[in-house]
Amino acid sequence: MGSEQDVVEARFRAAEDPWPSREQDAAAAAELVGQMTFEEKLALLSAPMGYGPGAPEDAVGSAARAQGVPRLGVPAWDESDASLGVTNPMSVRGDGPATAFPSGLALGATFDRGLAEAQGRAIGVEARAVGMSVQLAGGMNLVREPRGGRNFEYLGEDALLTGVLAGASVRGIQEQGVISTVKHFALNPQETGRVMVSSDLAEPQLRASDLLAFQIALEHGGPRAVMSGYNRVNRLYASENPWLLNGVLKGDWGFRGFVMSDWGGTHSAAAAATAGLDRQSGYQLDTRHFFGEELEAAVEGGRVPMSRIDDMAVRILTALLSIGATGERRGAGAPSEEQLAEHAELAERVAASSIVLLRNEEAVLPLPADLPRLVVVGKHADRGVLSGGGSSTVTPPDAVQEEGFSIAQMSLPKVLHRPAPLDELRRALPDTEVVFLEGSPGQVASSLRRDDTVVVLAQHWATEGRDNPDLSLQDEQDALISAAARAAGRTVVVLETPGPVLMPWLEEVDAVLAAWYGGSGGAGALAAVLTGAASPSGRLPLTFPAGEEQLPRREMTDPESTTSNPGEPRTGGSPAIDYDVEGADVGYRWYEREGLEPLFWFGHGLSYTSFSYEDVEIAADDAGDPAVTLTVRNSGDRAGVEIPQVYLAPPEGTARLVGWARVALDPGQARRVRIVADDLRCYARYDVDDPGWTVEEGTHRVRLARSAAPGDVLAESALELGARRLRP
């Protein structure tokens, strides 16, 4: 742990190059490609789905099966979804084991790079064990639309937090010899019309928000693959957008890996190939096999130069070679019992670290060990914890599967991960009578007693392919919670939700925990936090609005007016979403700019203990980077985790997160912490005319805070910073 005098330093620029061998890898790949026929090169440039109609017979069974060039020692390879564990769509590989990690937003809520990397490593181990060479992980779109159906896969609304955590997770996966992908590049925040929609945002703001998150992830993690989004970016499909792929990604950022399309997200041969797309993925879902005969014809007709085909093949092989992913992986089987046990423990640790205590009146939590009776209410409390739907859903053999949603005739179940919260609570409270009510408002009102403590597990399902129409809890859960609060003495609400929900009952209840989608360790983590075996230590990775009228776009596009999913006939129009409304002021920055008071701000999270901040120093260090040094003391009587956050507001503009530290402290313990805002892009302006980042000379306001709420500022200082420039 070190002594109180040791300073723990948190920095945010990548400490080392995550891909130092890129030149050698590219040279080795070029040599291989030099020995290939045109047909062999072409075979590398598209990958069919590894299950369902048209899947190659020798596929292991996963999202994709790519052909190799066996003659040159490059075997065919398999690719699996996704960021929350290794999936097994429609049980194509039987019922093999897999660890379901908590949702992306849960990982975001940990603010913990070490955990993100450890989770990545575990996913890499499992992916490799079942024979995968590529993991389609790294879902990292910024949450701009709190109703977005896939928010649960992403890491939050802040570019620095998202980029740093995604990079850490990529590092973990790739350490295991499995390529990690970041996706969906870029500006893909909603599901409605996702295969047609144009996300419109001016370049300076795009560079300083969604693109910055990817840029940071690339610098921290060195992902060997990037998946383009289904959507259009400023009117051009992401998969054939030369500015985005050739210009920003491969040009400005020097990306040497390959760009794969999303499944059913390729729309042309020559246009896509010349814009920078290297691989057509899941082409059964496209209207044509563009990167097959059509690309061949484009080369023969002189519309795509052979040098570009070489480049595409070289990029794919560079990625595989650099990770050691060209070895034969077939028949490897499954992760060992020992690995699975380790991963189960890790999944529970991530889940426990992600739970955010939003409210705790009169310290109703943790539940006392001598509580005589506890009533647990909630439709699935006796079955499992809810998981988000879509390609990312992990289905361990014991998962409960209910009817969910379907995309292109493939059914995507609604999954509950075992064990059930009810069982875990009974185990954690052996001396308490734990009563379960499935719960209608009437049943709750008549069964609860005045001196009862009730825990209501509220749920909200979200799935890929469909946005939620609003932020209200589904079914009659708001009424259920209010009924419970009226009848019982103490009411605790646990939110198993994709992200923010409205809480019209907030003032009626005593405590609220955001428990996200907790995965295989979700129930154990929840029981530990409810009973105080673990202290809630998550912080919100996104702002919870007080109402939909606060959002940059109050109305959403009617899903009936457009087509949202690949492989489905196109009907309706192509919507365009104007993200210039908030620009780079995503999430908390929007609320500050507009003077709005949300329900809970980004960064918010309470603890069972209390912390004091001492000897705060705010100054620029020798390199000119703003740095905040402070002592955090656990002033309460329980162990806990504090996450001091540093926000910086440039002379003109909103405050943004520029650094944080995660500090675990025993009662009475203190640590000296130094948070260095060394990534100036977080507070610089992006110039299009003279491309690059500019820090304006002048007075910047530096805040040490517990959250992004203006009222949560613990210390603030004006800092004179000199002008600085950084290349794109």
Hey, how many other C-beta atoms are within 10 angstroms of the C-beta on 56?
17
Indicate whether 81 belongs to the interface with ligand NOJ (CB under 6 A): yes
Indicate whether 183 belongs to the interface with ligand NOJ (CB under 6 A): yes
Non-local CB neighbours of 279 within 8 Å, separated by 6+ positions: 44, 45, 46, 47, 66, 258, 259, 260, 261, 291, 312, 316
Task: Give, as ranges, the residues between 650 and 689 that touch ligand NOJ (CB under 6 A).
Answer: none
Minimum gap (Å) between residue 166 Cβ and ligand NOJ: 14
Q: Which is nearer to ligand NOJ, 391 or 531 (CB)?
A: 391
Among 63, 142, 628, 663, binds ligand NOJ (CB under 6 A): 63
Question: Which helix (H) or strand (E) segment is 300 a member of?
Answer: helix 295-300
Minimum gap (Å) between residue 263 Cβ and ligand NOJ: 4
Q: Which is nearer to ligand NOJ, 82 or 357 (CB)?
A: 82
Q: Which is nearer to ligand NOJ, 81 or 112 (CB)?
A: 81
Minimum gap (Å) between residue 49 Cβ and ligand NOJ: 8
Rounded to whole angstroms, the Cα distance separating 538 from 550 reads 24
Task: Give, as ranges, the residues between 684 and 713 that touch ligand NOJ (CB under 6 A).
Answer: none
Task: Give, as ranges, the residues between 274 and 303 that touch ligand NOJ (CB under 6 A).
Answer: 282
Q: Which is nearer to ligand NOJ, 19 or 283 (CB)?
A: 283
Q: What is the sign of the dihedral through the CA atoms of 467, 470, 475 and 478?
A: positive
Minimum gap (Å) between residue 495 Cβ and ligand NOJ: 25
Hey, how many other C-beta atoms are within 10 angstroms of the C-beta on 386?
29
**Residue 559 near residue 382 (C-beta atoms within 8 A):** no
The per-residue DSSP string of 42-103 comes to HHHTEE--SSSTT--TT--SSSEEE--BGGGTB--EEEEE-TTS---GGGTT-S-----PPP
Task: Give, as ranges, the residues between 338 and 397 that touch ligand NOJ (CB under 6 A).
Answer: 391
Among 263, 579, 647, 693, binds ligand NOJ (CB under 6 A): 263
DSSP code for 259: E
Indicate whether 463 belongs to the interface with ligand NOJ (CB under 6 A): no
Q: Which is nearer to ligand NOJ, 217 or 705 (CB)?
A: 217
Minimum gap (Å) between residue 238 Cβ and ligand NOJ: 12
Rounded to whole angstroms, the Cα distance separating 250 from 256 reads 7
**Residue 475 near residue 161 (C-beta atoms within 8 A):** no
Among 10, 43, 66, 82, binds ligand NOJ (CB under 6 A): 82
* Angle ∠(392,275,196) on CA atoms, nearest 5: 50
Indicate whether 152 belongs to the interface with ligand NOJ (CB under 6 A): no
Minimum gap (Å) between residue 506 Cβ and ligand NOJ: 34
**Residue 145 near residue 194 (C-beta atoms within 8 A):** no
Q: Which is nearer to ligand NOJ, 263 or 588 (CB)?
A: 263
Q: Which is nearer to ligand NOJ, 213 or 675 (CB)?
A: 213
Tokens of 78: 């398999």
Tell me the residue type at 682.
C
Q: Which is nearer to ligand NOJ, 173 or 434 (CB)?
A: 173
> Is the N-terminal amide bond of 202 cis, ω within 30° of 0?
no
Minimum gap (Å) between residue 63 Cβ and ligand NOJ: 4
Q: Indicate the angle between helix axes 22-34 and 306-323, nearest 10 degrees.
A: 130
Q: Which is nearer to ligand NOJ, 232 or 662 (CB)?
A: 232
Minimum gap (Å) between residue 127 Cβ and ligand NOJ: 13
| 229-to-214, 236, 534, 655, 677 alpha-carbon distances in Å | 13, 11, 38, 29, 31
Rounded to whole angstroms, the Cα distance separating 98 from 211 reads 32
Q: Which is nearer to ligand NOJ, 63 or 272 (CB)?
A: 63
Locate the DSSP E strands across 361-510. Answer: 373-377, 385-386, 400-407, 410-417, 433-437, 453-459, 490-496
Minimum gap (Å) between residue 79 Cβ and ligand NOJ: 8
Q: How many residues bind ligand NOJ (CB under 6 A)?
A: 9
Q: Which is nearer to ligand NOJ, 231 or 609 (CB)?
A: 231
Minimum gap (Å) between residue 128 Cβ and ligand NOJ: 18
Core vs surface per residue 150-186: b (16+ CB within 10 A) or e: bbbbbbbbbbbbbbbbbbbbbbbbbebbbbbbbbbbb
- The site map against ligand NOJ for 518-557 (x = CB under 6 A) is ----------------------------------------
716 exposure class (CB count in 10 Å sphere: 0-12, 13-18, 19+): middle
Among 78, 262, 585, 625, binds ligand NOJ (CB under 6 A): 262
Task: Give, as ranges, the residues between 494 and 523 that touch ligand NOJ (CB under 6 A).
Answer: none
Minimum gap (Å) between residue 298 Cβ and ligand NOJ: 25
DSSP code for 473: P
Indicate whether 140 belongs to the interface with ligand NOJ (CB under 6 A): no
Q: Which is nearer to ligand NOJ, 282 or 559 (CB)?
A: 282
Minimum gap (Å) between residue 90 Cβ and ligand NOJ: 12
Minimum gap (Å) between residue 259 Cβ and ligand NOJ: 14
Q: Which is nearer to ligand NOJ, 396 or 566 (CB)?
A: 566
**Residue 706 near residue 612 (C-beta atoms within 8 A):** no
Q: Which is nearer to ligand NOJ, 81 or 311 (CB)?
A: 81
Indicate whether 136 belongs to the interface with ligand NOJ (CB under 6 A): yes
Is 269 strand, coil or helix?
A: coil
Q: Which is nearer to ligand NOJ, 266 or 645 (CB)?
A: 266
Indicate whether 93 belongs to the interface with ligand NOJ (CB under 6 A): no
Rounded to whole angstroms, the Cα distance separating 63 from 80 reads 5
Q: Which is nearer to ligand NOJ, 354 or 565 (CB)?
A: 565
* Angle ∠(346,351,352) on CA atoms, nearest 5: 95
Minimum gap (Å) between residue 99 Cβ and ligand NOJ: 18
**Residue 82 near residue 136 (C-beta atoms within 8 A):** yes
Rounded to whole angstroms, the Cα distance separating 134 from 650 reads 40
Hey, how many other C-beta atoms are within 10 angstroms of the C-beta on 253?
16
Minimum gap (Å) between residue 499 Cβ and ligand NOJ: 18
Minimum gap (Å) between residue 153 Cβ and ligand NOJ: 8
Tokens 């009776």 found at: 373
Binding positions for ligand NOJ, rule: CB under 6 A: 63, 81-82, 136, 183, 262-263, 282, 391
